[in-house]
Amino acid sequence: MLVLIKLIFSILLLVLAGVLISTYFHGCANITHKKLHHSKKWSIGISIVINILLIIAFFCLVGARLQQQAAELSDTLLKTIVHLKSQMEQRPLGNKILNFLENSGNSQINASLVKNFFSSGFGIVNDLYIIVLLAAFFIASPSIYRNGFIKLLPTSAKDMGGEILVNLNKDFKKWLQG
């Protein structure tokens, strides 16, 4: 039961992330629509292209610095581990811990850690892919998903559900605007 609740919560978070991204692009499209007086579809396309260009420009300007800092972090972590090991070797308890780790078959532990690291890394990539895919669907035709959600509600709650979704949309846009 607990696993099912965790799974449902994860799915809801992915859907919420997709909705937030979609709301952001629709907000940008509204600004583009007001300034350039294009149709909504053109405005969405323009806002997507502008945002992609901004992301590319950001990584072109900052990417080399990020790569340099990642290399520095890697070097610093390696030096820190070597320093920690030398400090532990100087103390009796630290020496016992190091001997225990060397003799306890830590190759299995290391293999397990590497496997968990890569599986979580691929899990993050899969989650990002799902979020982008959901956002694309929500951007393309949000009314289909809004109406489908309202159809899931009981007949007596459909009007109130529609009003709540309209208010949520307004609140999301205000929240994203700051």
* The residue count for the chain: 178
pLDDT in tens, 86-118: 888 888 887 787 777 777 655 555 556 555 655
pLDDT band at 120, cuts 50/70/90? low
What is the predicted pLDDT for the residue at 154?
92
Phi, psi of 154 (to 5 degrees): -65, 155
What is the predicted pLDDT for the residue at 118?
54
* 154 burial type by CB count under 10 A (0-12 exposed, 13-18 middle, 19+ buried): exposed
CA dist., res. 120 & res. 141, Å (int)? 32
pLDDT, mean of residues 6-15: 84
- Give how far Cα 4 sits from Cα of 56, 96, 113, 149, 176, Å: 39, 43, 26, 21, 31
Sign of CA dihedral 114, 119, 122, 127: negative
CA dist., res. 1 & res. 170, Å (int)? 35
CA dist., res. 44 & res. 89, Å (int)? 61
pLDDT in tens, 20-73: 888 888 888 888 888 888 888 888 889 889 999 998 998 888 877 878 887 888
CA dist., res. 137 & res. 110, Å (int)? 41
CA dist., res. 174 & res. 86, Å (int)? 54
Domain spans of the chain? Answer: 2-140
pTM: 0.61
